[in-house]
Amino acid sequence: MKVFFKAAGAVTGLAAVALMPVRPASAADQVTITSYGGAYQTSLRKAFFEPFAKATGIKVTEDEFNGEIAKIHAMVESKTVSWDVVDVSPALVTQLCAEGTVETIDWNKLGLDRTKFMGADKFDCGLPHVISAQVIAYDRDKLPSGLKTIADLFDTQKFPGKRGLLKQPWGNLEWALIADGVAIKDVYRVLDTPEGVDRAFRKLDTIKKDVVWFQSNAQAPQLLADGQLVMTSTYNGRIYDAVKNSGKHFEIMWDAQQWEWGVWTIPKGSPRLDAAYKFLAFAGSPQAQADLTHYIPYGPTNKDATALVDSAMLSHLPTAPDHMGNVLQRDATFWGEKGDELRQRFTAWLAK
């Protein structure tokens, strides 16, 4: 099945590039793409950058950043844009789009069907290209019966011991409400009220003394491995890495997983707009998105890519059919509007 779809997907991806109304590529063509570095960017290089350069003759130059929005502002305002495509978070692309700092995506020019892309309706100025997930993980040697739902995170009677959580309000407040009985579809409606915020913090109160707060998701697998935690929030990719490369007996509890999107966006004033669009078309193709899963366990956004993913890897992806039953898609607009207020409340709550 994999072999059959590979050829079909490759044709689709190249066709999307070929159909775009741009000039033919020349040796002088190039595009500068910026992402977050590390193993993640290595996976992007292998699945997207190198195959794109080979298919089109367009040279890819890479850069790295840590989400510094000021750099994008400075480039656009001074009309010295050197980053043609940037990999950003939902919150960043939402803010940049509202400011007019990045291009509104012309899907007709891309030659891709917007309705095929999960999350595309959320971003006018970006192409969602990958989905990672914030999940709860545990060591099955310590919890052989496993965790079943997000309510288990808050059940200190059945599962005594320390829980690891990121020292931020986002994610934790949503999980608190879901564990308290709020349907996922209603989470942000409830959290948008003073009563809902109070309810979330009351639920967090029930585990406050049992929580180890960490500053970086990189700390979570090590704390779990050291036996300091019985369960922890973290990204699914970090747990996959700990199991595959370090031999840990970790498991993921997928209930109420929180999706985070990686979104390609184009800074306003890019001198290589045509090349940027060609890259987005290639990176949005089903085969390219499926190929990314060879290097990192993050899910494709193009729905047609799922059928091309190796079955052995599919079970590790946030977008696997078996994991899609109770997904929270984090609302970047909500956190853009309420983030400062809730961070202040969270900081005050921690200090009590």
Q: Round to whole Å and give the CA distance between 202 and 207.
A: 10
Residue 98 to residues 79, 124, 259, 338, 343, Cα–Cα distance (Å)? 19, 10, 22, 16, 22
Q: Are residues 47 and 85 in the same domain?
A: yes
Render pLDDT for 30-77 as a digit per residue (tens, 0 to 9): 999 999 988 889 999 999 999 999 999 999 999 999 888 899 999 999
Other Cβ atoms less than 10 A from the Cβ of 213: the count is 14
Full 3-state SS string of 148-193: CCHHHHHCCCCCCCCEEEECCCCCHHHHHHHHCCCCHHHHHHHHCC
**328 in any annotated domain:** no
Residue 209 lies in a domain: yes
Domain with 214, as residue range(s), is: 133-259+333-351
Q: Is 161 left (phi over 0), alpha (psi -120 to 50) or beta?
A: left
Residue 99 lies in a domain: yes
Please tell me the predicted confidence (pLDDT) of residue 5: 28
Per-position b or e across 36-51, b if 16+ CB within 10 A of its CB: eeeebbebbbebbbeb
Tell me the average pLDDT across 314-318.
Answer: 94
Q: Which two tokens stand for residue 27?
A: 């040796």
Reading phi first (left if > 0) and then psi (alpha if -120 to 50, else beta), residue 339 is in alpha
For residues 62 and 158, membership in a common domain is answered with: no
Residue 162 burial (C-beta neighbours within 10 Å; 0-12, 13-18, 19+): middle
Q: Are residues 196 and 167 in the same domain?
A: yes
Residues 119 and 164 in one domain: no
Q: Is 87 domain-assigned? A: yes
Amino acid 13: pLDDT: 47
> Model confidence over 226-274: pLDDT tens digits?
999 999 999 999 899 899 888 999 999 999 999 999 999 999 999 999 9
pLDDT in tens, 264-301: 999 999 999 999 999 999 999 999 999 999 999 999 99
Q: Is residue 223 part of a domain?
A: yes
Give the single-character DSSP code of 262. Answer: E
Is 116 found in the same domain as 227? Answer: no
Residue 81's region, left for phi above 0, alpha for psi from -120 to 50, else beta, is beta
Residue 81: give its domain's CATH number. 3.40.190.10
Do 88 and 7 lie in one domain? The reply is: yes
The single-letter code of the amino acid at 285 is S
Q: 77 and 144 share a domain?
A: no
Assess contact for 287 and 9: CB atoms under 8 A. Answer: yes
Do 224 and 274 belong to one domain? no
| Counted domains in the chain | 2
Residue 9 domain-assigned (yes or no): yes
Question: Strand, helix or coil at 285?
Answer: coil
CB 94 within 8 A of CB 332: yes
In a shared domain, residues 127 and 275: yes
- Same domain for 90 and 188? no
User: CB–CB of 152/158 below 8 Å?
Assistant: yes
pLDDT tens digit string along 174-221? 999 999 999 999 999 999 999 999 999 999 999 999 999 999 888 999
Q: Is 7 exposed, middle or buried (0-12, 13-18, 19+ CB in 10 A)?
A: exposed
What is d(CA 332, CA 190) in angstroms, rounded to the nearest whole number?
16
Does residue 326 belong to any structural domain of this protein?
no
Give me the chain's average pLDDT, please: 91
Say yes or no: 309 and 208 in one domain. no
Contacts of residue 342, defined as CB under 8 A and 6 or more positions apart, other chains included, come to 169, 170, 173, 197, 335
Answer whether residue 324 is part of any domain: no
State pLDDT tens for residues 76-127. Answer: 999 999 999 999 999 899 999 999 999 999 999 999 999 999 999 999 999 9
The residues pairing with 272 across neighbouring beta strands, listed in sequence order, are none
Say yes or no: 119 and 190 in one domain.
no
The yes-or-no verdict on residue 348 having pLDDT over 50 is: yes
